Amino acid sequence: MGSIRNLVPARQSDVSVRQRSRIAEWRESKLDKSILLIGEWREVQMIILGVDPGFAITGYGIVEYAGNKFRVLDVGVISTEAGLALSGRLLAISEGLDDLIGRYKPDAMAVEELFFNTNVKTAIKVGHGRGVALLAAAKAGINVYEYTPLQVKQAVVGYGRAKKEQVQQMVKLLLHLEKIPKPDDAADALAIAICHAHSSGSINRLNLKVNAGNP
């Protein structure tokens, strides 16, 4: 399983010393929380495993999202040998995802929804790989969030009809990477993770506004 580790160094958050201390205390605890309450604002704190499901190649991207800032923890692909039987290839994907989940303990898995493909055979194979990813998350008790290609492009680029090259360039920019991850499956997985981070941030801000209106 190929991977590129620690592409982006950790960056210091733009909060006060007192707030950073509270964040550090929370991180050291083992409470199962993904939202920090600091003063009158909330900081989304989570590790996201983005998965671009496939059969021959499954892309993955693991990012830490905190205070509207990203840090790449790992990115790469899980490749399967063409000569293996279907069951063997699915097992390789399963073992690879299990290893990543055990190592990084993500709070959420983001997966691209399966869309109609004119090549039915290819769509079925991708569906197999996608099913393995969903099962891996379920076994680990991780919530799965699904996004359409249009939603991913909208979240990353701001335009639902953006071209693949535009999405990849924005992934590179948002994650402060020196170059676009290769193969494309890895970059796509990071884009899906970014989509979930932005979606979670929007939901969090909406909840905060609603709660603020309640006594």
- Catalytic site positions: 52, 112, 185
Reference 93, options 84, 197, 141; nearest CA is: 84
Q: Encode burial over 24-63: b for 16+ CB neighbours within 10 A, e otherwise.
A: eeeeeeeeeeeebebeeebbbbbbbbbbbbbbbbbbbbbb
The answer to whether the CB of 117 falls within 8 A of the CB of 158 is no
List, in sequence order, the alpha helices (H) in 68-119.
86-104
Amino acid at 145: Y
Hey, what amino acid is at 112?
A: E
| Host H or E run for residue 63 | strand 57-66
CA atoms of 119 and 107, how far apart (whole Å): 34
* 51/45 Cα distance (integer angstroms): 19
| Rounded Cα distance, 44 and 197, in Å | 9
- Kindly state the greatest CA–CA separation across the chain: 63
Would you say the C-alpha torsion 13, 19, 23, 28 has a positive or negative sign?
positive
